[in-house]
Structure 1
């Protein structure tokens, strides 16, 4: 299919979005509104422990979000949230959501593309201070679009048609990218525990855009905002789009949780080879005080202390490969050890030590093996 055809698809999508909004906007109007202020603050301290000359020691205000969330009218709820962290002001969730009698929901606005258990777990609830590199590089974050989801006790799915993200308007020439995503989850209860199996596919046409890039910090951000030790940018008029897929596996049983995830991205070209980059991570966490992680609608929640505080230990190994078809973005493997202390479901303190191994880069620089430490205090409301 040519880019001209994709441009026509973008026009059709716009008309479809307008039609669907009118079709589903038939909820009875109510004068009652119930909005709550919401926010989160994540404050970090970064310490280079060994071979860490690439980084800056010091403090970092990782997240400082403020917003509102609540019911607009009957069956409709909304959320607006902005991040005021060190890097500047950026929009997060800006969306409306319609709930139907069968429990399914229609989403309109900006929110996360449905791919990746690690990405879709809230930053308030992820086990480690940062998400795994494969998730950061491959899984899309928030985009504007239209989605439909339905989750039962053991089966669920979410599909989405999406375009650009808020704030990207000045970076796009011509028609905006257009993509589609689908994620399915099977999560049966097994005794007192739960098994999670998930899969996702995401296709995106880049339309008139000719640049796509991949990079990530080594699962930590230093005082200066962080430095990526692997990464690449593909800039060619032959760029057509990308196809991403992922597999998720998790098991929760009492205080023990196991998680594994594989993600790949195939960069699609009109001419020449289409490189494929991939990564994975495995992790395990155990709550020493006996509590269990919450789980619902295909994702993890938080830990709620039962006797004043909860202590959790965890380990993760992640790997990302950005070398294929002549592109040499490098390989990164990380081993992260973690200790978390929960004083409440919305207040915790975290400590990570990360052993990083960087190799096979095409930029003429040598391998890197930094060891870094990060501390975090966080709360949300």
Structure 2
């Protein structure tokens, strides 16, 4: 669907709404004459008991609570000032200082009749046409949990399950390259609030949305992916959380080719290593995190055992360790096995006015090592300013090092950048 089609669709919806809003509207003059003597009938926009309200997005809830709609979106506007070694530029990964829309998404989601859910989200950034991100339906209380059918995130990794609206840095870590991305498939999941225990497992097909390490997508092949999480310490009222989890993904023949190591600095990427066709691969991940008042720590280790079609089997490992601290006393919220939206204790209302918003300092080290291909490491430091629950300004300093000497490319170089993001969700 291109932008013009989307706008035309909105126009049709608006016209239909206008027709229903006027009980005497229409093109039938006979019908108008027949009803002109009748008293005017006011059709309420919201029926008795129904609610339309704002809670970080626009929401509608029916009086019986069985039907809900949510409409919203996000804008991430990123800029970077990038410095790269001559070797990286000679390899063709030169990036100029630039500003761009990293994400510009709209969504509608909701629930019908209490147990049927839906989510449709489109991203308008980066291309001339809107692109699906999440598009799926859900059925609650299906056997042992919720059934989800469509295109969705595969259940792998704490960092991947946390929304880009809520991650601590502009970019996810280098270890993220080993995580499966969004795929079309079927997934069952459940969350037990009392025991703070969650799980998800699914079967997925081709991968229309992939990590920057994947060279080919949308080919034949299937994958089975699952994740289990537990919070042995779960006291969100007092901002005390200890989280552990594990993930596995077994990917069949023809799923993807491995495209070597890649790095991203505010979405501007480069990499090393040639694409290697794979017969199959097994991805494993373990994760841990803790929230102790304003301080949080998070770490993951991912591995991929990959069987190439030729003589090279590019097994890979990656990890990251990060921490953050809120100078203004807030805490990272946690639910359903991932982190969520930060709500400042006081919203920023302007210079000279009451309210500071929330201020967060963060640091991270990450690495990725691919046997016989390349290795990379990165160090990030950041400052995040949450003006309110729906607006955030981020500033990161990133140093990346990449070595392709094992892969035959001879690339051994560094890159660094100062990156910023202006973010609003609605």
Asked whether the two chains share a fold, i.e. TM above 0.5, the reply is: yes
Aligned counterpart, 1:25: none
The correspondence of residues 246-265 of structure 1 with structure 2, limited to 5 A, is: 246-265=285-304
Structural mapping, 1:338-377, within 5 Å: 338-361=382-405, 362-377=407-422
1:305 to 1:229, Cα distance in 2 relative to 1, 3 A? same
CA deviations over 1:138-185 (Å, ceiling 9, x no partner): 1111101111111113211101111113489x9656xx2101011111
Deviation of 1:49 after TM superposition, in Å, equals: 4.7
CA spacing shift, 1:340–1:272, aligned 2, 3 Å: same
Residue matched to 1:220: 266
Q: Which residue of 2 aligns with 1:310?
A: 358
**Structure 2 stretches of 5 or more lacking a match?**
1-63, 211-215, 348-356
2:240 aligned with 1:197: no
Q: SS of the residue aligned with 1:127?
A: coil
Question: Is the CA contact (8 Å cut-off) linking 1:114 and 1:200 kept in structure 2?
Answer: yes
Structure with bigger gyration radius: 2
Residue 58 (1) aligns with residue 73 (2): no
TM-score normalized by structure 2? 0.73
* Residues 231, 257 of structure 1: alpha-carbon distance in 2 compared, 3 angstrom cutoff: farther
**Deviation (angstroms), 1:363:** 4.5
> Is this contact kept in 1: 2:150–2:186, CA < 8 A?
yes
Q: Is the 8 A contact 2:154 2:182 kept in 1?
A: yes
- Within 5 A, what are the aligned runs for 1:40-79? 40-49=74-83, 51=85, 54-79=94-119
User: How much does 1:366 deviate?
Assistant: 3.5
Checking the alignment, whether the CA contact within 8 Å between 2:81 and 2:97 is kept in structure 1 is: yes
Distance between the aligned counterparts of 1:210 and 1:122, measured in 2?
Answer: 24
1:158–1:66: structure 2 CA closer, same or farther, 3 Å change rule?
Answer: same
Secondary structure at the counterpart of residue 164 of structure 2: coil
Q: CA deviation at 1:233?
A: 0.9
Q: Secondary structure at the match of 1:92?
A: strand
Give the TM-score normalised by structure 1. 0.82
Question: Mind listing any 5+ residue stretches in structure 1 that lack a counterpart?
Answer: 1-29
User: In the aligned structure 2, how far is the partner of 1:166 from the partner of 1:319?
Assistant: 26
Q: Which has the higher contact order (CA 8 A, sep 6+)?
A: 1
SS in 2 for 1:119: helix
Change beyond 3 A, Cα 1:140–1:167: closer
Match of 2:161 among 114, 120, 143: 120
Counterpart pick for 1:181 among 205, 225, 229: 225
Q: Deviations over 1:235-278 (max 9, x none)?
A: 3xxx3211000000101111111000001111124675633111
Contact kept in structure 2, 1:244 and 1:266, CA below 8 Å: yes
Question: Residues 50, 178 of structure 1: CA spacing in aligned structure 2 closer, same or farther, 3 A cutoff?
Answer: closer
Structure 1 segments of 4+ aligned residues over 6 angstroms from their partners: none
- Equivalent position SS for 2:320: strand
Equivalent position SS for 2:156: coil
Most deviating of 363-372 and 192-201: 363-372
- 2:159 is paired with a residue whose SS is helix
Please say if 1:164 is aligned against 2:190: no
Equivalent pairs, count: 336
SS of the residue aligned with 1:40?
strand
Deviation at 1:351, TM superposition (A): 0.2
Matched residue of 1:134: which SS?
A: helix
Match of 1:280 in 2: 319
Matched with 2:257 is 211
Question: Equivalent residue of 2:313, what SS?
Answer: coil
User: Does structure 1 residue 140 correspond to structure 2 residue 187?
Assistant: no
